[in-house]
Amino acid sequence: MLHHAPENHLPTRAGDPTPVSRNLDPLAHPFAKARERTRALNAAKIERMFAKPFVASLEGHIDGINAVVREPSSLSTIASASADGGMAALGRITLPRRYSLFI
């Protein structure tokens, strides 16, 4: 028959969480490494699945960009405005900007 002291398994003060004893012996958990590897692989797959592709950066602004608009007749022409008063228009996203205005 097993005997144990109940004070080892009860909270020391009122309101404290109940102590939890765990066996940290690696021999008692033979699948821990495989489980951790599976979790890491799943996390990497989920991260890749939800990652958005990087199309291009809107360079030429000193401060943060506040607005981006596109020309209604063309999908490749966009204009951006930043908080420093600058505006930049880009013909194609892969090409450098056509002109900048600083007010």
Cβ neighbours, 10 Å, residue 82: 19
The CA distance from 43 to 39, in Å, is 6
Helix (H) or strand (E) holding 66: strand 65-70
pLDDT digits (tens, 9 = 90+) for 3-38: 778 777 788 888 888 888 888 888 888 888 899 999
Give buried/exposed letters for 20-52 (b at 16+ CB in 10 A, else e): eeeeeeeeeeeeeeeeeeeeeeeeeeeeeeeee
User: Rounded to two decimals, what is the model's pTM?
Assistant: 0.39
pLDDT digits (tens, 9 = 90+) for 52-92: 777 667 777 788 888 888 888 887 788 888 888 888 887 76
Q: Is residue 100 within 8 Å of residue 88, measured between CB atoms?
A: yes
